[in-house]
Structure 1
């Protein structure tokens, strides 16, 4: 349920839009100015939609200084209270041209387009999100993990109890339900799960959570990051998507099947009379078919590829399997109305709108073409002979550049500019010599 501004004690509204990198940008407006913006929008130079993470502007952007404005149009249904700031709310916005047509670089608009295409085919998508992140504390030696605990350690929950409560309260005030929070596998690493919803609301929730997490953690004297791999140890932050398609009334899960047709290593629930449908298999087939190109959007930073390696429970083999965490796609053992596909490639640096749009578009392509996913694996896919994900951002971008289905779904211009921004990032990385390289080579050659 959205916030009703006329009955709420709100003085300021943060009008937010998301750039291609997934960075929240926008402006804070007095209440009266926001009310005007709901009719007219707020203008920005359209070139800022292509900012790099440096930050800076591309040498050859689509929108240069001569290109005029874009408009950020608030989606009033997404107005949320910002509980950690007094009398403040936040609203998510869509980007348009001055004439009102959708801006081709609006990632939120692209996700809306893909959802509309699914609905035209008779499907209603739902998505649940697992968000992992690293919590750090400043010491004399620099930033270090918040604790020394590991997987599901309850002492780690006690250590972060006040933070947990503040995170939950902030999300609840904004209308998002946190379904669980726990210590992840590495020191200082936590996971917060957000209840499933429609994909647009889920993606808005990721952006809200990212913004909230940083702000609230600072108030506790801590730093939170969703960098995919902030340390050289095994700490790696994923953002898994749990996806299902329902009928138009959202009463029947189209991924569910009455026959038991999968072999789960530790059993399934219900134990008998449940499996996955042909639609689910075709959806899996589409994801696998486009997985190398999807990786560029779901693992969109240089650092992302230090997560996608065997041995740290992150995906690297392009395979699928029942309750199998060594694959890019896992089928959880809860079936029937809970039947879903877990997409394990996305990490916490994603633009959630683009990653969700690309994933759903790839799955829909599989359904339309009845793409056979092949047989699932019940073995350790790291040790099997499967194709692997690209090992670098540059390699993934080459696959995205050639993927006509994703280009069509996301828009040719958006994909082109996304690739420009990410190749600029990779080039800047290549121009930086790390301490590891000096330690490895300086005295040897």
Structure 2
């Protein structure tokens, strides 16, 4: 049950730009009441700011193009645990005449979910979000010196974790688990399984809450995909299943299949994968190059997609295989699901989930064969993911299915923004290049 505006003195109106950066405004509860139906106006160019930040040379929405409206999704209104008397609400972006604003990722996800429901499916999703904590605001020293699943890291961060739990619980998003990831200061938070829109709201809110709470403690939190060389990287893994319209039958669950052999012989008796699940996997694999642009949307993202740091490099699916883009966990039957391991911590969760689902639905409609599961962890010639943001953007620009699902305007502006980002990267020279080449030539 959502909160009432009368519960608060001030309310933050949230929306995510095309990068996934949370933007919005804080207003009095009285002002919110006046704006809740008609929305709050923003210069529409704010939705396509670069990360620098700045404007593109050729924006779709320049200063002469007026406003967009952020319409509160009032059912998401909830308290901010770290601010007495203050609430927060997510918003959908609309044009001034009430049409969906073309650069709104949250709206794009709702549109794709509508396609599934029209086809008789009810998607469910969970998400695992990884990020790095540093003991100082300059990000110099990891928050701890521990590694994978070390319980001392949980004790070290116990009060911080309590704050995350309080913040997410107050906002209506339950934490399923928290653990230390593979590198010092790296944590993974798992959100409860549920409706994909609410789950992605939770992923967006988690970034905001973790960063805000870290600042209050004088520490630093980053969701950068690979914040330091030599360290493991931060992913955002989606777990997805499809159910019937009544939510009673997992449509990914199939009959026993002796060909499904999990590592160490793990396979539930009498359980397998349905053709629907296989076609869903096939759809993701057939669009994987374009998906990479949306799920790994920064130059830094491609320093995560390398061997030996538990991130996917191989274009394929695997049975409990964490080297592949898609992993099928051994919990089949009612728990049957597909883990999409390509998204990283810098993706726009709404866009990445919308693209994931759209690719899967195309696979179901086209009855796409995923081929055999990958059994090794070695990437061989011809089965690597795109190695750069630019090449992934080429694939996205050419993918009609994702263009139609996300919206032509959104894909066009996403590609322009990210090409601009890549060009700015190309115009800089880093320490590694200087160390490698300055005295060599």
Distance 1:410 1:206, change over 3 A: same
Equivalent position of 2:293 in the other structure: 296
Q: Is 2:338 the partner of 1:338? A: no
Q: In the alignment, which of 310, 314, 322 is matched to residue 317 of structure 1?
A: 314
Equivalent position of 2:101 in the other structure: 103
Equivalent position of 2:257 in the other structure: 260
Using the TM superposition, give the Cα deviation of residue 260 of structure 1 relative to its aligned residue in structure 2, in angstroms: 3.0
1:222-270 alpha-carbon deviations (Å, 9 max, x no partner): 111100000001220000000000001111100001223411113446x
Q: Is 2:395 the partner of 1:399? A: yes
Using the TM superposition, give the Cα deviation of residue 172 of structure 1 relative to its aligned residue in structure 2, in angstroms: 1.0
Alignment of 1:222-241 (within 5 A): 222-241=219-238
Q: TM-score normalised to the size of structure 1?
A: 0.97
Q: In the alignment, which of 32, 37, 40 is matched to residue 38 of structure 2?
A: 40
Structure 1 Cα separation of the partners of residues 417 and 139 of structure 2: 30
Give yes or no for contact 2:11–2:29 (8 Å, CA) kept in 1: yes
Structure 2 Cα separation of the partners of residues 303 and 376 of structure 1: 29
Structure 2 Cα separation of the partners of residues 440 and 235 of structure 1: 23
Using the TM superposition, give the Cα deviation of residue 102 of structure 1 relative to its aligned residue in structure 2, in angstroms: 0.6
Structure 2 Cα separation of the partners of residues 340 and 38 of structure 1: 37
Using the TM superposition, give the Cα deviation of residue 92 of structure 1 relative to its aligned residue in structure 2, in angstroms: 0.5
Using the TM superposition, give the Cα deviation of residue 370 of structure 1 relative to its aligned residue in structure 2, in angstroms: 0.1
Equivalent position of 2:204 in the other structure: 207
Moved more, 251-260 or 289-298: 251-260
User: Match of 1:208, SS?
Assistant: helix
Structure 2: give runs of 5+ residues left out of the alignment.
Answer: none
Using the TM superposition, give the Cα deviation of residue 311 of structure 1 relative to its aligned residue in structure 2, in angstroms: 1.1
Structure 2 Cα separation of the partners of residues 386 and 429 of structure 1: 27
1:317-360 alpha-carbon deviations (Å, 9 max, x no partner): 10101100111100001111110000000000011110000000
Equivalent position of 1:49 in the other structure: 47
Equivalent position of 1:127 in the other structure: 125
Give yes or no for contact 1:16–1:27 (8 Å, CA) kept in 2: yes
Equivalent position of 2:69 in the other structure: 71
Structure 2 Cα separation of the partners of residues 236 and 364 of structure 1: 29
User: Match of 1:237, SS?
Assistant: coil
Q: Is 2:405 the partner of 1:426? A: no
Equivalent position of 2:3 in the other structure: 3
Structure 1 Cα separation of the partners of residues 21 and 351 of structure 2: 12
Give yes or no for contact 2:179–2:187 (8 Å, CA) kept in 1: yes
Structure 1 Cα separation of the partners of residues 29 and 87 of structure 2: 9
Using the TM superposition, give the Cα deviation of residue 37 of structure 1 relative to its aligned residue in structure 2, in angstroms: 1.2
Number of aligned pairs? 440
Distance 1:434 1:276, change over 3 A: same
Structure 1 Cα separation of the partners of residues 380 and 371 of structure 2: 14
Using the TM superposition, give the Cα deviation of residue 38 of structure 1 relative to its aligned residue in structure 2, in angstroms: 1.1
Alignment of 1:348-367 (within 5 A): 348-367=345-364
Q: Is 2:95 the partner of 1:86? A: no
Structure 1 Cα separation of the partners of residues 318 and 431 of structure 2: 39
Give yes or no for contact 1:242–1:343 (8 Å, CA) kept in 2: yes
Using the TM superposition, give the Cα deviation of residue 137 of structure 1 relative to its aligned residue in structure 2, in angstroms: 1.6
Using the TM superposition, give the Cα deviation of residue 389 of structure 1 relative to its aligned residue in structure 2, in angstroms: 0.6
Equivalent position of 2:193 in the other structure: 196
Equivalent position of 1:137 in the other structure: 135
Q: TM-score normalised to the size of structure 2?
A: 0.98
1:280-323 alpha-carbon deviations (Å, 9 max, x no partner): 00000000000000000000000000000111110011010110
Using the TM superposition, give the Cα deviation of residue 169 of structure 1 relative to its aligned residue in structure 2, in angstroms: 1.2
User: Match of 2:294, SS?
Assistant: helix
User: Match of 2:110, SS?
Assistant: helix
Q: In the alignment, which of 369, 372, 375 is matched to residue 372 of structure 1?
A: 369
Give yes or no for contact 2:105–2:350 (8 Å, CA) kept in 1: yes
Structure 1: give runs of 5+ residues left out of the alignment.
Answer: none
Equivalent position of 2:20 in the other structure: 22
Give yes or no for contact 1:317–1:386 (8 Å, CA) kept in 2: no
Structure 1 Cα separation of the partners of residues 66 and 426 of structure 2: 33
